[in-house]
């Protein structure tokens, strides 16, 4: 079976170091807010050319806490896309705000030409989702945000290391939000997330929100290190065990990204003359290929045949958010506003792609797909 994603081979190579690190961490007597967290936050900031950063328990929490930190509240409107993972919108709803969806372009990213017509007096922010490993057009988005005085929260969950005009995602907006879910570019063996910002005040605020609103390590605060909440917060601590694992894996991220790009290039070369719509790297972008997403109107038939050949693929995502029962009557758009989002959702699927995937498996998947396409 060729799996869509697997961490097993990666773990085999790191197993001894990981077990040693976990053992050392547990022996330290510090489960949260220890040396591993401090080390990771500093290293992640440096690696991604960020200014300030806070590690949290998940990418979902990163978005939620970022929105709270920016003062997003009941009935505020946030512009984003419906072609995204549920957490993007659940974070908005958890703040009491409303999502206003903009349709996507042929690259699956927010269509920046359509953003302005959805801005209202209640619009407070834009969440551009750097989907599948490719950056949105941040130049246009930043211009729009400046014009209308909107905040920008970059959803970088799938695009750590991606660039727009040679600048890393997460460095353009007011906040960048990252995910360390196991399938991501940098994955924990559990969960984790990260909030980046250039504002020292926002940094201190999200740091408080992460831990019940308690101020930590501030000598000017008379309540320093006491169980006293300065503001409403939540519990979003990431454990020392997970940050110790992330510290081991972080130095390998760049080589893993290059391997993803090489494997993606093999797919693109092997499948270029087929009826599949293949992903393309946009001008001024560096695509990190978190996912290799293709489109075909006969997707379901293709997936069925691939399964018969012991090849697993995923669909990211089969249902746009505005079509889900949980959100259908809680967003501001009618379904006919998003024609391309809906059409793509009916035909996209993700081919196997991860750093430890064998090149021979990529050739096999490509070969099987070409045979299937000749018969359907």
Is 100 exposed, middle or buried, given 0-12, 13-18 or 19+ CB atoms closer than 10 A?
Answer: buried
Let me know if residue 3 belongs to a domain: no
Verify that 329 and 354 share a domain, yes or no.
Answer: yes
Verify that 236 and 344 share a domain, yes or no.
Answer: no
Per-residue confidence (pLDDT) for residue 336, from 0 to 100 = 53
Verify that 16 and 136 share a domain, yes or no.
Answer: yes
* Chain center to CA of 186: 10
Verify that 219 and 120 share a domain, yes or no.
Answer: yes
Verify that 167 and 127 share a domain, yes or no.
Answer: yes
332 pLDDT band (50/70/90 cuts)? low
Let me know if residue 117 belongs to a domain: yes
Verify that 85 and 17 share a domain, yes or no.
Answer: yes
CA distances from 2 to 25, 82, 352, 360, 362 (A): 35, 30, 7, 11, 9
Determine which of 67-71, 230-234, 350-354, 358-362 has the lowest per-residue pLDDT on average: 230-234
Tokens describing residue 130: 């750097």
Q: 336: Cβ–Cβ under 8 A, 6 or more apart, which residues?
A: none
Boundary-marking domain end, from 251, 275, 299: 251
Tell me the pLDDT tens digit for each residue of 44-64.
999 999 999 999 999 999 999
Tell me the pLDDT tens digit for each residue of 243-291.
999 999 999 999 999 999 999 999 999 999 999 999 999 999 999 999 9
- Overall average pLDDT of the 2-22 stretch: 97
Determine which of 4-18, 159-173, 336-350 has the lowest per-residue pLDDT on average: 336-350
* Contact between 309 and 368 (Cβ < 8 Å): yes
Provide the CATH number for the domain around residue 292.
Answer: 3.90.1150.10
Nearest Cα residue to 315 out of 305, 303, 301, 328: 303
Let me know if residue 100 belongs to a domain: yes
Verify that 351 and 278 share a domain, yes or no.
Answer: yes
Per-residue confidence (pLDDT) for residue 227, from 0 to 100 = 80
Let me know if residue 2 belongs to a domain: no
Verify that 100 and 189 share a domain, yes or no.
Answer: yes
* Chain center to CA of 107: 16
Let me know if residue 369 belongs to a domain: yes
| Pairwise CA distance, residues 52 & 28, whole Å | 26
HEC string for 268-335: HHHCCCCCCECCCCCCCEECCCCCEEEECCCHHHHHHHHHHCCECCECCCCCCHHHCCCCCCCCCCCH
Tokens describing residue 175: 């906040």
Q: What is the mean pLDDT of the chain?
A: 95
Verify that 338 and 241 share a domain, yes or no.
Answer: no
Tell me the pLDDT tens digit for each residue of 278-287.
999 999 999 9
pLDDT over threshold 60, residue 149: yes
- Overall average pLDDT of the 178-201 stretch: 97
Per-residue confidence (pLDDT) for residue 203, from 0 to 100 = 97
Let me know if residue 350 belongs to a domain: yes
Verify that 268 and 246 share a domain, yes or no.
Answer: no
End-to-end CA distance of the chain: 23
| Pairwise CA distance, residues 50 & 223, whole Å | 30
Verify that 166 and 266 share a domain, yes or no.
Answer: no
Let me know if residue 1 belongs to a domain: no
Let me know if residue 176 belongs to a domain: yes
pLDDT over threshold 80, residue 329: no
Residue 196's domain spans which residues? 8-251
Determine which of 75-89, 164-178, 322-336, 355-369 has the lowest per-residue pLDDT on average: 322-336
pTM comes to 0.95
| Pairwise CA distance, residues 171 & 52, whole Å | 10
Provide the CATH number for the domain around residue 173.
Answer: 3.40.640.10
SS3 category, 364? helix
Verify that 146 and 287 share a domain, yes or no.
Answer: no
Boundary-marking domain end, from 251, 271, 306: 251
- What is the number of domains present in the chain? 2
Boundary-marking domain end, from 251, 283, 307: 251
């Amino acid at each position: 079976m060729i799996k869509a994603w697997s961490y097993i081979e990666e773990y085999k190579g790191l197993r001894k170091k990981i077990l040693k690190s976990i053992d050392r961490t547990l022996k330290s007597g510090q489960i949260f807010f220890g040396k591993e967290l401090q080390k990771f936050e500093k290293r992640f900031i440096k690696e991604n050319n960020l200014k300030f950063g806070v590690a949290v328990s998940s990418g979902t929490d990163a978005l939620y806490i970022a929105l709270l930190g920016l003062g997003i509240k009941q009935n505020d409107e946030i512009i984003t896309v419906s072609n995204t993972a549920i957490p993007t919108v659940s974070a908005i709803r958890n703040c009491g705000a409303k999502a206003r969806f903009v349709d996507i372009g042929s690259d699956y990213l927010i269509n920046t030409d359509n953003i302005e017509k959805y801005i209202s007096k209640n619009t407070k922010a834009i969440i551009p989702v750097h989907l599948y490993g490719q950056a949105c057009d941040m130049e246009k988005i930043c211009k729009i945000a400046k014009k209308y005085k909107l905040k920008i929260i970059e959803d970088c969950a799938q695009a750590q290391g991606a660039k727009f005009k040679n600048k890393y995602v997460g460095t353009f907006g007011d906040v960048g939000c990252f995910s360390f879910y196991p399938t991501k570019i940098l994955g924990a063996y559990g969960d984790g997330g990260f909030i980046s910002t250039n504002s020292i005040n926002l940094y201190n605020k999200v740091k408080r929100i992460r831990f019940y609103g308690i101020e930590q390590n501030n000598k000017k605060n008379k309540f320093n290190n006491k169980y006293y909440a300065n503001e409403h917060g939540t519990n979003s601590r990431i454990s020392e065990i997970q940050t110790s694992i992330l510290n081991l894996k972080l130095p390998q991220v760049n080589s893993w990204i290059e391997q993803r790009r090489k494997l993606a290039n093999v797919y693109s070369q092997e499948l270029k003359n087929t009826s599949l719509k293949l992903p393309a790297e946009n001008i001024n972008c560096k695509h990190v290929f978190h996912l290799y997403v293709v489109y075909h109107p006969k997707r379901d038939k293709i997936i069925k045949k691939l399964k018969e050949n012991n090849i697993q693929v995923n669909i990211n995502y089969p249902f746009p958010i505005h079509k889900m029962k949980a959100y259908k009557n809680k967003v501001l758009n009618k379904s006919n506003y998003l024609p391309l989002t809906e059409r793509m959702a009916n035909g996209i699927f993700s081919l196997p792609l991860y750093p430890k995937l064998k090149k021979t498996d990529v050739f096999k998947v490509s070969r099987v797909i070409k045979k299937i396409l000749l018969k359907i």
